[in-house]
Structure 1
């Protein structure tokens, strides 16, 4: 029997063109093409979600999504350059070169008995029951994401109070927060990420259950959590996002061993270093320079590595062996929560393991030629924010690079965005003494 899962009242408010700041010149021409063609074919079509929200606060969206009453199959009939994707959530992608306009059919917040909307232990695992625009609005996550820009009169349609929340810069869940987080625990991370990105506060009722429900993140696929972490930490607001995770009790759920190490580190040195690394990441993103996930996770998991290393050394394990075992242990334990691909976890470990070699100052040409040298050196520089005991090592290796004709300025990226060491480093000519 069809059941209404959680009735949520709606009240339409239309904000006319002269009362909002959205202009068509700020909207992707390809998104406008999709909107106009669907409208001309007799369908309702709206720009929706993050693009509308960001435009209202003066942002510059990279992605433009469309919501319509046309089914995915009907959308495909209108566009040769369209492909249908997804089973859990059926979507149409209209492809314009490198830009994809995502078109979603209005979803209903009901289980109609067809099997197209399915919950498992409170989690939404299938959502393909179509409905009206009012239905679609109430099943979105945050009120700020439930705003619709209408191409026919350039107005903004608001059904759940999202326009006022955007103006007040408040992030608020639609419906009962506990139920919505249980449907999809990753919404807790989205709340942190959006609040950091938009500089919004999180509504008190929306924030209240997060710490208690944080363990639900264990139900999310580790691969999905890896992607969510990349969004959180590589969007230019990594430091604010990390502080949000701490404030709302999500850090132990995502990075349990790092969280424990930070708590045990009374001096706060590890936290200072970690935040300095995230601020440097934000600076690189702002300057449109690549950031490797390998370096990012080396920073995020460094507290865990230091704690594991100290424990092994306290057990009498030889230093080099302790370093390798600590790196493997942290990587393995973290993988049960976040699936860090080997193309990132291996260079991450090398960044850690090279740190001890900087203090030895031996085989200088060989170390300079190591594929991960530059990333490891940048990491050593970062460690200065936690302790000035590394100042002499940093000075030595900076001079070594200068004598070898290698750039050592902060503007030279250590890694390309995919985590592959820069080719310049692999082509470096090594002296005969360094090749033995």
Structure 2
């Protein structure tokens, strides 16, 4: 039964000390997903730190610096399974200087769990994380109003946070937002219900995660196949084989389909779809395959094979929403490497169209600087056309990263808007 469960990826976010790591530790501990050696190691560390019981946050704060400082720095990935579903957790940092790590953890998530301290309510970092979740088109947000034990489990405290978040989130493009009052430290409404909050009639967090309907975010209509490498075997029996290997980004390809190679524009027909286990009649995302064509076309890494009647936009001028990840401010006319699917091209930021004020979600048109954690709409120009779709239509062909060509640092994550 465990092996048959659907996989759900979720990320945790929130401000500093809102209890993200403690919440995940409570999920793992109460769902009995901790190995005995892990439990013993954390128990020993907790005793050394002078805690009376087990410090649940230590189950995720695995780095030495995190354990010493008592904070989460890097994105910590954890895996656990229940009878109903398999889970991958991305525990992201709460400090504002690590907001870029939240982008990393949330980029593949189905659900974003945003923790809010019941004492402090919705603050700027809460809004920042909610906006990033909306920007990345995470379809479900679960707002966990944590530390209810510190406000005497009062319903008024929970309602105040819920009202604050609803007022802000009305401006976001999120289909489903749910609220759960919890105490990660005590365990209320995490895995089990307790009588401390009998006024709450909803399900605990784990039950919500187990029963939440998750639809695939893979575009099944637009067939896109970025080529990673060309396979030319040297063996005598396969000397005439020329296969284009890669991972199907979206859509479905079938033997006999007419396809177009971009950016050249040459057309051909699919001859075979090959895998390690043999040939297929059709291939779909996210399968890794080798595609052969009936015609000998010059195709190399970074090119894209698409169906002839459904092609992406080819453009050198790209408008995108980005999150600036680098500690160094962006410099005008600086050359970057733009990595998009299997393609890499030189690029520069032509224009900062506007920045987002996280507090109000207003557009700031006068500010033309790019600093760490800034979220803004920009215009980029590349040396050669890229085959792109909007991020809203296709998360794979609509996303990219910018890399500093001198330091090899990833400076921005972007989502194509047109």
TM-score > 0.5 by shorter chain: no
Structure with higher helix content: 1
Structure with higher strand content: 2
**How does the TM-score come out when normalised to structure 1?**
0.25
**How does the TM-score come out when normalised to structure 2?**
0.26
Task: State the structure with more CA Rg.
Answer: 1
